[in-house]
Amino acid sequence: MSLLCVPLGRCPPGGAGQAACVFQVLLYTSLPDFCHKFLPGYVGGIQEGAVTPAGVVNKYQINGLQAWLLTHLLWFANAHLLSWFSPTIIFDNWIPLLWCANILGYAVSTFAMVKGYFFPTSARDCKFTGNFFYNYMMGVEFNPRIGKWFDFKLFFNGRPGIVAWTLINLSFAAKQRELHGHVTNAMVLVNVLQAIYVIDFFWNETWYLKTIDICHDHFGWYLGWGDCVWLPYLYTLQGLYLVYHPVQLSTPHAMGVLLLGLVGYYIFRVANHQKDLFRRTDGRCLIWGKKPKVIECSYTSADGQRHHSKLLVSGFWGVARHFNYVGDLMGSLAYCLACGGGHLLPYFYIIYMAILLTHRCLRDEHRCASKYGRDWERYTAAVPYRLLPGIF
Ligand code: NDP
């Protein structure tokens, strides 16, 4: 570890970026999870993903929480004890690192494309549309892998981008203190609320194996470049804005933002947990203290086999068909409101998330309608609204 970190402060940004990325690859591939051995309730270690369209069930080494903890321990050790590099290092090299992230994003997407054509991990799960650019953008391979454990989708979705998210925010807070002599409550709110979201992601990494990104999307530029560039650079705009415009919120404003962020997070987490629990227990669970209402459904996979599944009609899944997205949107709005009303830039995130999640909702419903047919129609009759009851 020290070999990787000692030279960082003196490294050119490209070298530092590469070292950080190699460090994350090592943490992912070489350090089996130990967090599940001492953190009650945390599910880590080797876990199974969902059945792919070709009927494959992949195994994953879930160790993201451990990678996040070790990376942040090193960050704090550096800031308070070791002083190998300045905690403002990310902010100070923001533009050179953007170049590095782009090179990585395009290299990974191009490699994934070539791999899909010439040496795919599971040929039966590849998708060729006949349109070269679409294949590049949306991906050919479903779950590209190198060796037994290096899974492109799991690695690039979570690391380096999501590990970096909280580090980037910490670097912005350090820069604000350096430039203005103090860290404002707005910067603290953005750091805390986004850290809750990031830690939640890693705490629930096993659940993440069942989300659309892993279960349905192929790995191409959309995920490869998106995870390396779009996520770390655009999801962190609030912190960046606050470095240049140090907003100090009134106490009622700050409390309002905190409340919105926490309620949003609660809805997001509980809704996702309800579906996960329901699917894991095959409906043998309690949702809001009662036996859940269920719609039994069936579908045929690409290999012609008939499968049975269940749709949950209780809890938040009975309020609207994607109420988990509503919680996410409330949290996203809270990050933006923390920046006050001085500029539109920090509101990019909520505008983007509203478009992303509305589009995702429509895309998912289209897929579910063709997968479940009449059974999906029964669900939409029982739960008529997509996001907001009475509105949409
Ligand atoms: P969901 O977790 O909502 O998963 C949708 C899938 O769940 C459907 O395809 C279907 O899959 C199944 N499903 C749908 N309705 C039901 C039901 N009533 N009962 C049981 N299963 C059902 O979607 P995502 O994976 O998109 O999102 C997961 C979370 O991640 C969300 O909270 C979202 O806000 C967040 N997210 C955040 C992003 C960010 O950039 N910050 C980006 C994307 C998502 P099946 O085929 O198995 O039936």
- Does ligand 1 have an atom closer than 6 angstroms to the CB of 211? yes
Residue-wise pLDDT for 125-182, tens only, equals: 899 998 999 999 999 999 999 988 899 999 999 888 899 999 999 999 999 999 999 9
Domain range for 345 is 249-392
175 and 105 co-located in one domain: yes
Q: Taking the alpha carbons of 317, 319, 322, 323 in that order, is the dihedral positive or negative?
A: negative
The rounded Å distance from CA 49 to ligand 1 centre is 15
Same domain for 177 and 288?
Answer: no
Whether 190 and 57 map to the same domain: the answer is: yes
Give 231 Cα–ligand 1 centroid separation in angstroms.
Answer: 19
- Asked if residue 315 and residue 208 are part of one domain, the reply reads no
- Can you tell me which atom of ligand 1 is nearest the CA of 367? 9
Mean pLDDT computed over every residue of the chain: 91
In a domain, 361, yes or no: yes
Distance 251 CA to ligand 1 centre (A): 35
Core vs surface per residue 362-388: b (16+ CB within 10 A) or e: eebbeebeebbeebbebbeeebeebbe
Residues 265 and 205 grouped into a single domain: no
Looking at the structure, do residues 253 and 220 belong to the same domain, yes or no? no
- Domain end call among 222, 246, 270: 246
Report the distance separating Cα 157 and Cα 224, nearest Å.
Answer: 8
Distance from Cα 183 to the centre of ligand 1, integer Å: 36
Q: Residue 267 falls within a domain, yes or no?
A: yes
**3 within some domain:** yes
Structure tokens at 31: 């350090």
CA of 353 to the centre of ligand 1 (A): 14
Choose between 246 and 302: higher pLDDT.
246
For atom 33 of ligand 1, the residue with the nearest CA is: 325
pLDDT, one tens digit per residue, over 277-318 is: 999 899 899 999 999 999 999 888 777 778 889 999 999 999
Separation of 212 CA from ligand 1 center, angstroms? Answer: 6
Whether 227 lines ligand 1, by a CB cut-off of 6 Å, is no
When pLDDT is averaged across residues 81-99 and rounded to a whole number, the result is: 92
The pLDDT score that the predictor gives to residue 13 is 61
Q: Is 175 in the pocket of ligand 1 (CB under 6 A)?
A: no
Domains contained in the chain, number: 2
What is the atom index within ligand 1 of the atom nearest the CA of 383? 18
Shortest-distance Cα residue to atom 40 of ligand 1:
353
Place of tokens 């380096």: 160
CB 232 within 8 A of CB 166: no
Q: Are residues 268 and 306 in the same domain?
A: yes
Cα gap 206→29, rounded to integer Å: 16
- Bridge partners (DSSP) of residue 57 are 51
pLDDT (0 to 100) of residue 107: 96
Note whether 238 and 268 are same-domain residues: no
Q: Of 196, 224, 246, which closes a domain? A: 246
Residues 225 and 276 in one domain: no
184 and 261 co-located in one domain = no
Q: Could you read off the pLDDT of 38-57 as tens digits, one per residue? A: 999 999 999 998 888 888 88
- Going by alpha carbons, the residue nearest to atom 22 of ligand 1 is 311
Q: Which residues contact 137 (CB under 8 A, 6 or more apart)?
A: 220, 221, 222
Residues 46 and 99 in one domain: yes
Q: Whose CA is nearest to atom 1 of ligand 1?
A: 211
Q: Are residues 253 and 240 in the same domain?
A: no
Ligand 1 atom 2: residue of nearest CA: 211
Least confident span in 10-19, 28-37, 190-199, 313-322: 10-19
Determine which residue's CA is closest to atom 11 belonging to ligand 1. 368
Of 220, 246, 272, which closes a domain? 246
317 lines ligand 1 (CB under 6 A): yes
Q: Which two tokens stand for residue 74?
A: 């090193």
Tokens, residue 76: 């704090």
